[in-house]
Structure 1
Amino acid sequence: MTQSIVVQVGQCGNQIGCRFWDLALREHATVNKHGTYDESLSSFFRNVDSRFDDPANIPLDRGTGKIKSLKARAVLVDMEEGVVSEMMKGPLREVFDFKQLLTDVSGAGNNWAVGHKMYGSQYREHLSDIIRRAAEFCDCLQCFFILHSMGGGTGSGVGTFILNLLEDEYPDVYRFVTAVYPSVDDDVITSPYNSVLAMRELTEKADCVLPIENQALVSLVNKINQAIPPTKTGKRMYSSVGGDVKAGSAITASDGSVVKPANEKPFDTMNNIVANLLLNMTSSARFEGSLNVDLNEITMNLVPFPRLHYLVSSQSPLFTLSDVSLPPRRLDQMFSDAFSKDYQLLKTDPKHSLYLACALMVRGNVEVSDVRRNIERLKPNLKFIHWNTEGWKTGLCSVPPVGQSYSLLTLANNTCIHNNFTELKDRFVKLYKRKAHVHHYTHVDGMEMSDFAQSLESLNSIIQEYSDLEKQMFNPPLPEPRLQVVT
C-alpha cells in the first residue's frame, strides 16, 4: 500500500487541509466499524501509541491491530501562527503531529519574495527536517499534495519554495498541487504579482496542478444556497458545506451545531468544496473499488506534455458530505452536471474548447456500463484532440461520500484554461507596466527584476501552448497521404 503526505501552506492551505482531515476521518469511520488500523487508513494516517514519547519506535500493526492514536500524514506551515495555533487547539489537535509543523509570527506581508526568497532560505533546513520526518513514517511514499493559495505571500512564496525542495530531495515522488487563485476583485492589490511569480514554479516543478478560483467557489456556494428550500419558519438550515441538514445528521456545522452559527467563517463553505475535491480524487487510494485509479495514473493519462499539467476540475453533486434533505441527482444528470460550466471549480466552460484528456472518478454503486453509456451520450458534444479521441480515464471506487449514493469528479486537461491565465496576465501587466509596488519585492535579498520578466514569459508560453492546441479544434491537421505501391 502506498502513502501520501499533505503539505498545508499558509492560511488557505491549512484551512482546506483541516477540512480534508475532518471529512476523511468521517468517511473512514462509516466504513471501518471495528476500529482496525487497515490498509485504507494507512494511506493518509499512521497509527501510534500515545503512551510512548517517540512514536517512531513503535511498530505499526497494520491489518490486524486496533487503532491506538491516528496521526495525519501532514506537514503544517504558516508564517502567521494564528490558523495553525487554532487548529492545534481545536477538535483535530490530536490528529496532527506537533513535530511536523512550522510557524512564524510576522507573516509574509502578501509578498511572494518575502515568502519564497526570505522565509524559504531561512527555514530550508527546518522544512527539510519536518518533511523528512513525515516521509520516514511511510513504507512506500507515492505522492505529495501541496495545498496553498496563489494570491498571498506565504501560500505562493513558501508553498512554491517547498515545491522546489521536494523536487530536489524526493525527485521520484509525485508532486500534486492544489492552488487557489484570487478573484478579480481580490483585496490584495499585489495578488497578480504573487500568482504569476508562483505560476512559473508550478509550471516547472509540479507534476500536476489543480487550479481553483475563488470566484468559481463563490458561485458554487451561491448555487448551493439557492437550491436549499427554506424551512416552514422561512429560515434556512445549514451544514458546514451548505445544505438543509437532516435531523440527526452526522455532518454538522464546524462548531457541532446544525443551524449555521454566527461565527462561521466566510470561507468555510468554499474550503469544504476544495476538501471534497481532494476526498474524491484520493478515494481510490483510500478505499477498494472495481476500477481504482492510482494517483500516478492521473499524470500518466492526463498530462501528454510535461508543462501542460493544469487540470480543470468539477464535481457533482455539489452537496457532497452535507447530508442535505434534497432528492439525489439521477445518475445521468450527475454526469451532465459535471460537464456544465456551472459546476466547474474555475470560471470557464470546457465544452467550447478542446479536451486533451479527461478522467471520470466515480464513487458509489455505479457499474462500468453506466459510465460507458454516459461517455457515449456526452461525446458528441465534446471535442477531443485528433490524436486522443478516446482519451477517457475511468475510476470506480465502491465507497460513496457520506450521505450520498454516488458522486462524480471530473479532471480534464482542456485548452479553455488559457482564457483564465490570459485574464491573470492582463491583471499582472496592468500593475507591472507602471512598476507599481515592485520595490516591495526587489528590496528582498535574492529578488531581481528579471524574476518578474521570466515569470511573465513563462506564463505567456503556457498560454501560447494551450492556444496553439486549441486552434486544432478549428483547423485539424490534414491526414498524411497514403502511399500507393506501384507494382
Structure 2
Amino acid sequence: MTQSVVVQVGQCGNQVGCRFWDLALREHAHVNKKGVYDEALSSFFRNVDSRKSSGAPCDIIGGRIQHLKARAVLVDMEEGVLNHILQGPLREVFDSAQFLTDVSGSGNNWAVGHMTYGASYREQIVDKVRRAAEHCDCLQCFFLIHSMGGGTGSGLGTRVLKLLEEEFPDVCRIVTSVYPSAEDDVVTSPYNSVLAMRELTEHAHCVLPVENQSLVDIVNKIHQMSNSGRLGSVPKGGCSVSSGLGGCSGAEKPFDAMNNIVANLLLSITSSARFEGSLNMDLNEIAMNLVPFPRLHYLVPSLTPLYTLADVSGPTRRLDQMFSDAFSKDHQLIRTDPKHGLYLACALLLRGDVHVSDLRRNIERLRPSLPFVSWNQEGWKTSLCSVPPVGHAQSLLALANNTCIKPTFLELRERFSRLYRKKAHLHHYLHVEGMEQSLFSEALGSLSSLIQEYEQLDATRTRVQPDAPRLKIAA
C-alpha cells in the first residue's frame, strides 16, 4: 500500500488542510464501522499505538482518534491558525513535531516568505518532511496546499515545493493553489502570485488552481438556493461534505464554506488512494496521463454535485446530469469555461455506484462538444472508486488540462503589470536580503512564456464546436 504526505503552508493552506483531515476521518469512520486500522487508513494516517497492529481497533469512531496521526507537516509563520488547531477537535491527530511556526508572519510579502523564512527554516522543514516520509512504507505523493496572494503561502509555500523536489526528486508533487480574486484586499497579491507562478511552473508535477472569486460565487449560489423557500431546498445534515470548522475551534467564519469546497476537491482526488474501486487511479497517473508538456500542468477542477456539497438537498439529479454539470462553467473551481478552450487531456474521477457503461456512454455523449487537440482525441483518464462521499450516491471530479486557463493568467499578468509599471510597493521586496529586481522581470517572462505556449495550442483549433444540449434536471 502506498502513502502520501500533505504539506500545509500558510493560513489558507492550514485551514483547507484541516478541513480535509476532518472530512477524511468522517469518511473512514463511516466505512470502517469497527474502527480497524487498515490499508485505507494507512494511506494518509499512521497508527502510533505500538500495541495495535493492522487489524486492531484504532478508535476513529465517536471522535476518539488518539491512536491516529495524520501524515502531514503544518507550516505557518504566524501562530494563530495552528494554535486554534491544537485547541480544536483535531488536536489528537497532530503533535507538536509536525508543526513549524514563527510569530511575525510574512507581511504579505513573497520575498520575506521565500527568501527570509525559506533560508532560516530550511533545515527544520526538510527534517520534518523527512520524518513524515520515513513513516511511509512506500511514499507515492506529496500534496502541497497553499494560497497565492499572501506572503507565507506564496513565498514559503513555493520554497517548500522546491525543497521537496531537491530532497525527493522522484516523488510526485501535486499542488493545490488558491488564487486571489481581482478585488483582493492584499494590494501586493499580484506580485506574490506571479512570483509564485514561476516556481509552480518549474517545480510542480501538476497544479490544481482554485480561485477565491469562483468559490464565493458558488457559495452565494448555494445560499440563494437554500433561502429560496422551495420544497427540497432545506439544509440537509449528516453529509461528510457539509460546511464546518475543519478542525479549528471558535465560531464558523465566512470562508469556512469556501475551504470546505477545496477540501472536497482533495477528498475526490485521493479517494482511489484511500478506498477500493473497480477502476482505481494511481496518483502518479494524474501527471503521467494529463500533462503532455511539463510546463502545461495546470488542471482546471470542477466538482458535482455542488449543491449537496454545501449540505443543501435539491431535486434528484440523474447520473447523466452530473456528467453535464462537470463540464459546465458554473461548476468550475476557477472562473473559466473549458468549452471555449482546447483540451489536452481530461480525467473523470467518479465515486459511488457508477458503472463503466455509464462512464463510456456519457463520454460518447459529451465528446462532440468537447474540442480536443488533434493528436490526443482519446485523451481521457477515468477512475471509479466504490465509496461515495458520506450522504451521497455518487460524486464526480473532472480535471481538465485545457487552454481555457489562459485568460486567468492574462488577467493576473495585467494586474501585475499595472503595479510594476509604477514600481509601486517594490521597495518592500527589494529591502529583503537575496531579493533582486531581476526576479520580477524573470517571473513576468516565465508567465508570458506560459501564456504563449497556450496560445500556440489554441491556434491549432480549426473550428469551434457547438455545445451539447443540456439535460433537464430530473424532478
Place the TM-score, normalised by the shorter chain, in its bin: over 0.9
- Name the CA shift for 1:103/1:255 in 2 (closer, same or farther; >3 Å): closer
The offset of 1:222, in angstroms, is 1.3
Show the counterpart of 2:3: 3
Measured in 1, the distance between the counterparts of 2:298 and 2:462 equals 22
Show the counterpart of 2:468: none
Show the counterpart of 2:471: none
**Is the CA contact 1:321–1:403 (under 8 Å) kept in the aligned structure 2?**
no
**1:97 is the counterpart of 2:95:** yes
**1:61 is the counterpart of 2:53:** yes
The offset of 1:231, in angstroms, is 5.8
The one-letter code of the counterpart of 1:66 is: P
**1:123 is the counterpart of 2:121:** yes
- Name the CA shift for 1:127/1:247 in 2 (closer, same or farther; >3 Å): closer
The offset of 1:266, in angstroms, is 1.1
For residue 131 of structure 2, give the secondary structure of its aligned residue in structure 1: helix
Show the counterpart of 2:317: 329
**Is the CA contact 1:312–1:411 (under 8 Å) kept in the aligned structure 2?**
yes
Query: Cα deviations across residues 15-56 of structure 1 (Å, max 9, x unaligned)?
Result: 00010000000111110011100000000000112xxxxxxx
Show the counterpart of 2:377: 389
The one-letter code of the counterpart of 2:100 is: L
**Is the CA contact 1:321–1:401 (under 8 Å) kept in the aligned structure 2?**
no
Alignment partner for residue 437 of structure 1, among 425, 443, 451? Answer: 425
- Name the CA shift for 1:59/1:421 in 2 (closer, same or farther; >3 Å): farther
The one-letter code of the counterpart of 2:196 is: A
Show the counterpart of 2:150: 152
How many residue pairs get matched? 455
The one-letter code of the counterpart of 2:22 is: D
- Name the CA shift for 1:426/1:255 in 2 (closer, same or farther; >3 Å): closer
**1:413 is the counterpart of 2:413:** no
**Is the CA contact 1:72–1:97 (under 8 Å) kept in the aligned structure 2?**
no
Most deviating of 247-256 and 147-156: 247-256
The offset of 1:289, in angstroms, is 0.2
The offset of 1:94, in angstroms, is 0.3
The offset of 1:474, in angstroms, is 2.5
- Name the CA shift for 1:255/1:104 in 2 (closer, same or farther; >3 Å): closer
**Is the CA contact 2:307–2:314 (under 8 Å) kept in the aligned structure 1?**
no
The offset of 1:245, in angstroms, is 2.8
Measured in 2, the distance between the counterparts of 1:112 and 1:229 equals 40
The offset of 1:97, in angstroms, is 2.3
Show the counterpart of 2:210: 212
For residue 378 of structure 1, give the secondary structure of its aligned residue in structure 2: helix
Measured in 2, the distance between the counterparts of 1:392 and 1:251 equals 27
Q: TM-score, normalised by structure 1?
A: 0.90
Measured in 2, the distance between the counterparts of 1:459 and 1:362 equals 33
**1:31 is the counterpart of 2:31:** yes
The one-letter code of the counterpart of 1:33 is: K
**Is the CA contact 2:243–2:256 (under 8 Å) kept in the aligned structure 1?**
no
Note the aligned Cα RMSD (angstroms).
Answer: 2.1
The one-letter code of the counterpart of 1:244 is: V
Measured in 2, the distance between the counterparts of 1:249 and 1:314 equals 19
Alignment partner for residue 88 of structure 1, among 86, 89, 92? Answer: 86
The offset of 1:252, in angstroms, is 6.2
The offset of 1:92, in angstroms, is 0.4
Measured in 2, the distance between the counterparts of 1:122 and 1:149 equals 21
Measured in 1, the distance between the counterparts of 2:238 and 2:194 equals 46
For residue 384 of structure 1, give the secondary structure of its aligned residue in structure 2: coil
**Is the CA contact 1:110–1:188 (under 8 Å) kept in the aligned structure 2?**
yes
Measured in 2, the distance between the counterparts of 1:207 and 1:197 equals 18
**1:245 is the counterpart of 2:235:** yes
Show the counterpart of 2:175: 177
Q: Which ranges in structure 1 are unaligned for 5 or more consecutive residues? A: 50-57, 238-242, 477-487
Identical-residue share of aligned pairs (%): 69
The one-letter code of the counterpart of 2:76 is: D
Q: Map of 1:330-409 to 2, 5 A cutoff?
A: 330-409=318-397
The offset of 1:246, in angstroms, is 3.4
Measured in 2, the distance between the counterparts of 1:171 and 1:229 equals 50
**Is the CA contact 1:321–1:402 (under 8 Å) kept in the aligned structure 2?**
no
The offset of 1:417, in angstroms, is 0.6
The offset of 1:77, in angstroms, is 0.3
Q: Which ranges in structure 2 are unaligned for 5 or more consecutive residues? A: 60-66, 465-475
**Is the CA contact 2:242–2:260 (under 8 Å) kept in the aligned structure 1?**
no
**Is the CA contact 2:115–2:435 (under 8 Å) kept in the aligned structure 1?**
yes
The offset of 1:267, in angstroms, is 0.6
**Is the CA contact 1:179–1:209 (under 8 Å) kept in the aligned structure 2?**
yes
